[in-house]
Structure 1
Amino acid sequence: MARVGLTTERLTRAGAELADEVGFDQVTVSALARRFDVKVASLYSHVKNSQDLRTRIALLALEELADRAAEALAGRAGKDALTAFANVCRDYAREHPGRYAATRFRLDPQTAAASAGVRHAQMMRAILRGYDLTEPDQTHAVRLLGSVFHGYVDLELAGGFSHSAPDSEESWVRVLDALDSLLRDWPAR
């Protein structure tokens, strides 16, 4: 019998907290069972295995991030929207490093299609409408922005910019300025 009070949602949230504390790749059903001081078997009525737990954490993180981004983007366009979206990603990563890592967890296609990841893509494309990009350039730009945002944040979280001047905050602002400039003057093929 499952321990009273354990639910799939509670386990997912606890797993997300654990991810922020120890790293997303360290989250397992066993680690979660230790956190609740229960036997691993008592969790299997709520999560199938560690893969299922990580998928649930990824879906939770994508939803949280999409909600924050949607709120930040409301009423914004162009560079203002680009900066708001980028800052939400960066702030979320700083606040929740394990959950942020979970947002990049590879989901199966069916799960991904039903996830908040779709909302992220829609918001990114909405930002790009302010730059008057059409396909296939819009897809290229989405990939560029995702690469820059995630790459910068990953390097920053790993301490990659902490030992040199200028400050990483100054570089972040300059990177966003450069992206805005590039998007306004997207190179012709």
Structure 2
Amino acid sequence: MIRVGLTAERVTLVGAELADEVGLEHVTMSAVARRLGVKDASLYAHVRNLEDLRGRIALLGAEEKTIRIAEATAGRAGKDALVAYANAWRTYAHDHPGRYTATQLPMEIDPELLARSPGPRRAIELTYSMLRAYALEEPDLTDAVRLMRSSLHGFVSLEAAGGFAHARPAEDTWVRCLDALHTLLERWPEHHEGEPA
């Protein structure tokens, strides 16, 4: 029997809130059921299993992060857009650490649910669109996307784990890293003969 008021969306949101509080790895079906005040079995009318729930949390996080990035970068280009994009990414990771973690992990997500969720696709479109201002063409454009994603994810992950113990403020380093990333994107190295395209 499906409990009135309980939906897949509500179960996902509670799971996401829990992930932000205790970490995605500590989210269990039992913990979500306790938070909702229902028995574990009630959840299975709305989500298939824990993997399905985590996939739904990832899609929710992707949608939320993409909205923030889209709003931050609207009407901007070049370095201005890059900085706005990066700051929106970092702020989301700080505000929603569990959801952010979910967006970075490979997950088994129901293909139909994925097809109805614009977040991941829109995130890719926004990223490529923002970087096209640097006049990069394939395969350099994809390489630049991977470099940027690695840089932003690496920084926020190390920051969240307390990996920056030096006295220099992380904020100052963040600003300089974005300066360096912008400079690299503007002066992207050319391919040399014999290198993979």
Q: Same fold (TM over 0.5)?
A: yes
How do 1:52-71 residues align onto structure 2 when only pairs under 5 Å count?
52-71=52-71
Which structure 1 residue ranges, 5 or more long, are not aligned? none
TM-score by length of 2: 0.91
User: Paired residue for 2:80?
Assistant: 80
How do 1:29-44 residues align onto structure 2 when only pairs under 5 Å count?
29-44=29-44
CA distance in 2, matches of 1:155, 1:147: 12
Cα deviation digits, residues 101-137 of structure 1 (max 9, x gap): 0111313484656641221111111111110000000
How do 1:7-156 residues align onto structure 2 when only pairs under 5 Å count?
7-108=7-108, 110=111, 115=117, 116-156=119-159
Q: CA deviation at 1:160?
A: 0.7
Deviates more, 1:58-67 or 1:117-126: 117-126
Alignment of 1:172 with 2:174, yes or no, is yes
CA RMSD between the two structures: 1.4
CA distance in 2, matches of 1:7, 1:113: 19
Q: CA deviation at 1:22?
A: 0.7
Deviates more, 1:122-131 or 1:170-179: 122-131
Cα deviation digits, residues 130-179 of structure 1 (max 9, x gap): 10000000000000000000000000001111x21211000000000000
Q: CA deviation at 1:27?
A: 1.3
Residue 21 of structure 2 contacts residue 98 of structure 2 at CA under 8 Å; is this kept in 1?
Answer: yes
TM-score by length of 1: 0.94
1:140 counterpart letter in structure 2: D
* Percent identity of paired positions between Structure 1 and Structure 2: 57
- The structure-2 alpha-carbon separation of the partners of 1:63 and 1:158, relative to structure 1 and needing over 3 Å to count, comes to same
Cα deviation digits, residues 3-37 of structure 1 (max 9, x gap): 32211111111111000001011112111111122
Question: In structure 2, the residue corresponding to 1:135 is in which secondary structure?
Answer: coil
User: Paired residue for 1:185?
Assistant: 187
Q: CA deviation at 1:2?
A: 2.8
CA distance in 2, matches of 1:168, 1:36: 38
CA distance in 1, matches of 2:140, 2:116: 25
Which structure 2 residue ranges, 5 or more long, are not aligned? 192-197
User: Paired residue for 2:195?
Assistant: none
2:13 counterpart letter in structure 1: R
User: Paired residue for 2:6?
Assistant: 6
CA distance in 1, matches of 2:173, 2:182: 14
2:180 counterpart letter in structure 1: A
